[in-house]
Structure 1
Amino acid sequence: MNIRQIEVFYAVMTNGTASRAAEVLRISQPAVSKAIQELERDIGFALFRREKGRMFPTSEGQMFFREVEGSFSGLVHLKSAAARIRDFGSGEIRVASLSALSTNVLPRALSGFQKKHPNVAITFQAQMSSVVKDLVASGQFDVGLAADEIDIAGVDVRPFARYRVSIAVPSGHRLESADVIRPQDIDGEAFIALSPEDTTRRSAETIFFNENIKPKMVLETPYSTTICAMVQAGMGIGMVNPMTAEPYVGRGLSLRPFEPAVYFRTLLLLPPNRQPSRIVSDFVEEVMRHSVFQD
């Protein structure tokens, strides 16, 4: 007894005749008859009575069909699962992102993706960029978004977005009314800084050094969201990604452009030497719709 014989038997029982079963299975009627005969020989009893060229199920055949129905539904499920894995991958996607994009870009991209793939399980983590890179490089996560300060060895990389730095200032601050904030405006100001390894901070420090500007460093953090919260609390001013600052604007915080221009640059990461599944490709396409390259 094999799966093909069971499939033919199921087709005859559900379609009523051998000829209709042959049409559904796209095989010849003699092939249907042969498969049924082989199945009967293998199981040791008759499944059908043959009368005037027609096949009528025996009582044993009816009993056997009830058993087959349960097993066949499981087989159909397996075929469906195999097709889903073939077309879409595992049915799940694991995404990691730097914190700066975890409250704006990623929710929008994941929402758009979920509408297209409502049955795909999504795992999402917001981490430091170095951790995001490690998760993707090890294959634990399928897609990552990270700042460009990371070592990109061991991951496939493509540019994702570039955001021009804004200066976050607390409500009522003297710089809140400035059209543009320049380096000399920051000299001596209480300043909440990004981590030393951040490329945006290093670019700003080069500008400060060249112009002999010395902000008063009151706190360091790798997260633009933390800078926004500290600015909102009145601790000082800081350079932030304007996307991250969106929820804070008008709630004790204002944004002002900074000149000369400094940028946050982010990368999209994929595991190395792995062909993306259709699910991953669809997510990458969706998230790239939300990428921005500001001048």
Structure 2
Amino acid sequence: MPQPNMRQLSAFNAVMKAGSVTEAAERLFVTQPAVTKLLKGFEETCGFSLFHRGQGRLKPTVEARQLFAETEAIEAGLMRITRLAESIRNLERGEVSAVTFPGLGMHIAPQAAAALLKRSPELRLQLFTRTSRSIEDSMVTGKADFGISLLPATSPALETREFEAIELVCVVPAGHRLSKAEMIDIRELDGEQLVALGREDLSFPIIEAAFQGAGARMRPVAEVQMADAACAMVAEGYGVSIVPSLASAGARDDRLAFCSLRQHIRMTSWLVTPKGEKLSMLANTFLAEIRSRIRRIQGLRSMDEAPSRFSLDN
């Protein structure tokens, strides 16, 4: 027995609801002969008559009424599938989870998530913050759809590719002698009280190398774990710091001045995904929002620029 197709079911349902081929054709935006042909094909598939014809109207048979209960449910289900597919395509529904290093997870990633949710409140987003050394473990255990780390993953179950360069900038108190400078040379920080990110932070050896390369003395008088903590100390008028530019995406503090560094010290960020799996449209849109915000903060600098000699590639 041949299987009926959806066009036949739609024609049958339309005639059942309208009571005539003419009205059914109008509802389906097709010709009357087309509806008649579809009905005939459906009857042949079923193996029995569906309508009694007379006086310009079609009277459904008992068998047709029995079928209609099912065909109407099928058509309604198809409409739900169509609407769901449309909402997914338009990024109005869906779920995505991400794990990022703290510098990104403090401000940029939440701001990007909020931007998506404002446009599509039905989305479901999860954000996790882990150290770069822990992000790989989170990805291997399926904690997130993608990760953004300052270290490339080594697991064979994961794929890693460069995401964006993260510039380091100098943050000084608003009243500091360098607060009005458009760009600061590392040599101008010679002997300055430096609020440093801890020695375990991936930026520490890069900053140390930059000072050595410039022939300047690096004088760390305090060590903190988070860039926001360093900025809080500088805002109180104690020392200066060198932090990822992403820290400037936080709440505005008039007591701070963020200045670019002439040496363009930078770190490479890496996108980590499950091997062999393509990201969803929603995940790609989320990544694009994060990337856009990073570039906006960094004055549209990108990894296409000539690399600095002070960089972290692993």
TM-score, length of structure 2 as denominator length: 0.67
SS in 2 for 1:93: strand
Which one of 70, 78, 96 corresponds to residue 93 of structure 1? 96
Aligned partners of 1:130, 1:16: CA distance in 2, in Å? 68
Which one of 127, 144, 147 corresponds to residue 147 of structure 2? 144
SS in 1 for 2:184: coil
Asked if 2 retains the 8 angstrom alpha-carbon contact of 1:91 and 1:121, the reply is yes
SS in 2 for 1:166: strand
Asked if 2 retains the 8 angstrom alpha-carbon contact of 1:18 and 1:33, the reply is no
Equivalences for residues 1-295 of structure 1 within 5 A? 4=5, 7=10, 9-18=12-21, 24=28, 29-36=36-43, 39=46, 48-51=51-54, 55-57=58-60, 65=68, 69=72, 72-81=75-84, 91-102=94-105, 104-107=107-110, 109-110=112-113, 113-114=116-117, 119-147=122-150, 149-151=151-153, 153=155, 154-172=157-175, 176=179, 180=184, 182-183=186-187, 185-187=189-191, 189-198=193-202, 200-209=203-212, 211=215, 213-221=217-225, 223-247=226-250, 250-292=253-295, 293=301
Distance 1:11 1:201, change over 3 A: same
RMSD of the alignment, in Å? 4.3
Quote how far apart the aligned CAs of 1:241 are.
1.9
Kindly provide the amino acid, as one letter, of the partner of residue 227 in structure 1. A
Quote how far apart the aligned CAs of 1:172 are.
4.6
SS in 2 for 1:165: strand
Distance 1:231 1:247, change over 3 A: same
Task: Give structure 2 stretches of 5+ with no counterpart.
Answer: 296-300, 306-314
Kindly provide the amino acid, as one letter, of the partner of residue 151 in structure 1. A
Aligned partners of 1:194, 1:150: CA distance in 2, in Å? 21
Asked if 2 retains the 8 angstrom alpha-carbon contact of 1:231 and 1:238, the reply is yes
Q: Percent identity?
A: 22
Aligned partners of 1:284, 1:248: CA distance in 2, in Å? 22
Distance 1:191 1:225, change over 3 A: closer
Aligned partners of 2:189, 2:291: CA distance in 1, in Å? 36
Aligned partners of 1:127, 1:38: CA distance in 2, in Å? 60
SS in 2 for 1:187: coil
Asked if 2 retains the 8 angstrom alpha-carbon contact of 1:96 and 1:144, the reply is yes
Asked if 2 retains the 8 angstrom alpha-carbon contact of 1:22 and 1:29, the reply is no
Quote how far apart the aligned CAs of 1:203 are.
1.5
Aligned partners of 2:289, 2:259: CA distance in 1, in Å? 30
Distance 1:92 1:216, change over 3 A: closer
Asked if 2 retains the 8 angstrom alpha-carbon contact of 1:249 and 1:255, the reply is no
Aligned partners of 1:15, 1:256: CA distance in 2, in Å? 72
Kindly provide the amino acid, as one letter, of the partner of residue 144 in structure 2. F
Quote how far apart the aligned CAs of 1:51 are.
2.4
**1:67-101 superposed Cα distances (whole Å, 9 cap, x missing partner):** 76456423432454467668979822223332323
Distance 1:276 1:168, change over 3 A: same
Aligned partners of 1:128, 1:93: CA distance in 2, in Å? 20
Distance 1:40 1:119, change over 3 A: farther
Aligned partners of 2:198, 2:18: CA distance in 1, in Å? 70
Kindly provide the amino acid, as one letter, of the partner of residue 42 in structure 2. A
